[in-house]
Chain A
Amino acid sequence: MQHGIQLGGIDYLILVIYFLFVIGIGWVLRRYTKTSEDFFLSGRAIPAWIAGLAFLSANLGAQEMIGMAASGAKYGIATAHFYWVGAIPAMVFVGIFMMPFYYGSKARSVPEYLKLRFDEKTRGFNAISFATMTVFSSGISMYALAKLLELLLGWDFNFSLWVSAAIVLAYIYLGGLTSAIYNEVLQFFLIVLGFAPLVYLGLRDVGGWSGLSARLATVATANGYAPGTWSESWRHLTSPQANPMGVEWFGMVMGLGFVLSFGYWCTDFLVVQRAMAANSMAAARRTPLIAAVPKMMFPFLIIVPGMIAIGLTYAGTSFTLPKMADGSWDYTMVIPNLLQHYFPPGLLGLGLTALMASFMSGMAGNVTAFNTVWTYDIYQSYIRKDATDAHLLWVGRMTTIFGILASVGTAYLATRFNNIMDFLQLVFAFVNAPLFATFLLGMFWRRTTGHGAFFGLISGTAAAAIHHGLTLPQNAVAGIKGGWLASLPMHTYPSEMAQNFWTAIWAWSTCFAVTIVISVLTARRKTDGELTGLVYSLTPRPKEEAHLPWWKTPAGFGVAVLVLAVVLNVVFW
């Protein structure tokens, strides 16, 4: 195999220094990790800005960096919808409207909130599916990292896998969530400062934004689209045929902007855990809002490199993307190949370290969420109810080891059965799609019952599976891509992305409707008193501190974030 990148001594030095710092932070923090609350919730002592950056960084895994750069090349600036439409509104919503219940209820995890609000079975369903999902996600992240290092640097797959696993294990084992969060902040700055020069050099090379747009016009017309398709985000969403995503604006706004985005940012414990660790209600509410500011700038850091890569490739200059076996461009190589193209030794070490940091923060986010849900929602709830706090802390550390080993196992599984991974990701997508309907009804309608929530979730998941089984993206073969329920698909979508968005819309709507119907038909088990702090109408409004400047209040800050997001959408319309 041909290895693209030769690293020099300076590059290795940078990588080693980074590893030393990451583990060193865990080592220093171990002294402050004395109770299970310290280990799983950072003793609820994290300042807002740290929690905010960690909130963002925990989501910055492999899929994010590699996948969004790839989409930038494949679809152009319209990929930014995954940020400006598919993240910002949901992040503002969770901060302003949902955090009062998550943080105020003193629940230690998202499944625990479901237990307090609904019942045991709803919690159990969420806890078990979430715990399994995190192990698989972190395994897939490790697999992707080890594969990439093998390809780029010629490092042994096993070596990369075990070393990255050992480093993440070391810092979480020692310092728990605080260590993960602190490292996520470090990783955030590393990712920004490691990739910024790539964007700088790339834009300089293509002649700035205007030069890039001109090159992208060639890409668009060569693929049979209007010239601005790669450089304008909304204008070409009028019909699925007008853009390479195969999506129209309604599917984009409802499927991605509403169902998928709110489902992820508002209910996924991986990110919500960072806010729960904040040191006050005000800080918890500001956490996602602070995260939203860099989040909306990330397209310039991650998507623009993809656009530069495809622009250069079509212009036939010195840079071209590699091709895959079937002759299509290998978009996943955007970031690695650009690093190799523009970065001299020295900066190359920094860029690669940033890439590794992004994989590790994704991994660590999953592992910390996994050990909390396992320890509090499964172990303490079903296995040993009377466990002492010292015992839970011990279980947390053991679970960290177990979780990492399970992830390594998953990574090996991925090397042999790649389609099993695709299948599992599909199943988790079905389970996740309806979740936000349950939370929305649970938090804002006190009449929602446990049975309603549980059966709503099950029907939503089933609806997702059925919709997927009956439809197929264009030119796809029935099977993992859909169409497995009928000999002829009932509907053909212009793209896989369109099918995903509509699967989510169906799942959400089914869950929403079924939860309402069953709630009306079943008796309420929880009294108003029990629901105080869990449901909007029964919870006293958190006092907006009147003496604070507007940007320190969640509402003021949230509105400012939304205005900024609208401005970005208009500028790149």
Chain B
Amino acid sequence: MGLDIRTPIGLMFGIFGLLLAGYGLMTSGSAIYQRSLGLNINLEWGAVLVVFGGVMLWLGFRGGKK
């Protein structure tokens, strides 16, 4: 198949991660985080998603070169 699915997956989660982390930074200390037990879960989970997206992109890129 001409499309390596890891590339769009990596791209989408990378974007989600950056959005969440960025939003988390902007809203740091806000009352919205009372819901998530005082954790800035947007920033934390956004960082996880960025890492996941990066790994997927890297795998897709490596697979494409073969």
Contact = CB atoms under 8 A, between A and B. Distances in A.
B23 A186 contact: no
B8 A186 contact: yes
B42 A186 contact: no
A182 B2 CA distance: 12
Interface string A175-190: 0001000100110010
A46 B5 CA distance: 11
B41 A31 contact: no
A325 interface: no
B8 A24 contact: yes
B12 A347 contact: no
A133 B17 CA distance: 39
A28 B35 CA distance: 40
B5 A13 contact: no
Given A21-B8, A197-B41, A344 B36 contact: yes
A201 B9 contact: no
Contacts, number: 89
B65 to A, nearest CB: 17
Given A14-B16, A17-B15, A341-B35, A346 B42 contact: yes
B3 A193 contact: no
B33 A344 contact: yes
A346 B16 CA distance: 9
Contact of B13 (A25, A178, A189, A345): A189
Interface in A231-248: none
A32 B3 CA distance: 9
Contact of A347 (B11, B37, B42): B42
Given A186-B8, A346-B24, A10 B19 contact: yes
A10 B42 CA distance: 11
Contact of A193 (B2, B13, B15, B35): B13
A198 to B, nearest CB: 10
Interface in A198-255: 201, 204-205
B9 A346 contact: no
B12 A182 contact: no
A193 B52 contact: yes
Interface residues of B, number: 30
Contact of A45 (B1, B5, B32, B52): B1
Contact of B19 (A14, A25, A50, A201): A14
Interface residues of A, number: 35
Please indicate which of the listed interface residues B9, B23, B33 has the most CB atoms of chain A within 10 Å of its own CB.
Answer: B23
Contact of B42 (A28, A31, A344): A344
B20 to A, nearest CB: 5
Contacts of A345: 23, 32
Interface string A27-52: 01101100000000011011000100
A21 B9 CA distance: 9
Interface in A307-345: 341-345
B50 to A, nearest CB: 12
B13 to A, nearest CB: 7
A10 B46 CA distance: 13
A17 B5 CA distance: 16
A204 B37 contact: yes
A341 B35 CA distance: 6
Interface in B20-34: 20, 23-24, 27, 30, 32-33
A350 interface: yes
B25 to A, nearest CB: 11
B20 A32 contact: no
B39 to A, nearest CB: 8
Contacts of A43: 1
A208 to B, nearest CB: 13
Nearest to A181: B5
A417 B10 CA distance: 43
Given A10-B19, A17-B12, A344 B5 contact: no
Contacts of A28: 2-3
Please indicate which of the listed interface residues A14, A31, A342, A346 has the most CB atoms of chain B within 10 Å of its own CB.
Answer: A346
A189 B11 CA distance: 13
Nearest to B11: A21
A13 B41 contact: no
A438 to B, nearest CB: 34
A17 B16 contact: yes
Contacts of B15: 17
Interface of B: 1-3, 5, 8-9, 11-13, 15-16, 19-20, 23-24, 27, 30, 32-33, 35-37, 39, 41-42, 45-46, 48-49, 52
19 contacts: A10-B19, A14-B16, A14-B19, A21-B11, A25-B3, A32-B1, A182-B5, A185-B9, A189-B13, A189-B52, A197-B45, A201-B37, A344-B33, A345-B23, A346-B23, A347-B20, A347-B36, A350-B20, A350-B45
Given A25-B8, A185-B9, A193-B52, 20 more contacts: A14-B19, A18-B12, A21-B12, A28-B2, A29-B2, A32-B2, A32-B3, A182-B3, A182-B5, A185-B5, A186-B8, A189-B52, A201-B36, A201-B41, A342-B35, A344-B32, A345-B23, A346-B23, A347-B20, A347-B36
Interface of A: 10, 13-14, 17-18, 21, 24-25, 28-29, 31-32, 42-43, 45-46, 50, 178, 182, 185-186, 189, 193, 197, 201, 204-205, 341-347, 350
For the complex of A and B, the 6 pairs showing the least CB-CB separation, nearest first, are A344-B32, A346-B42, A346-B23, A21-B12, A182-B5, A32-B2
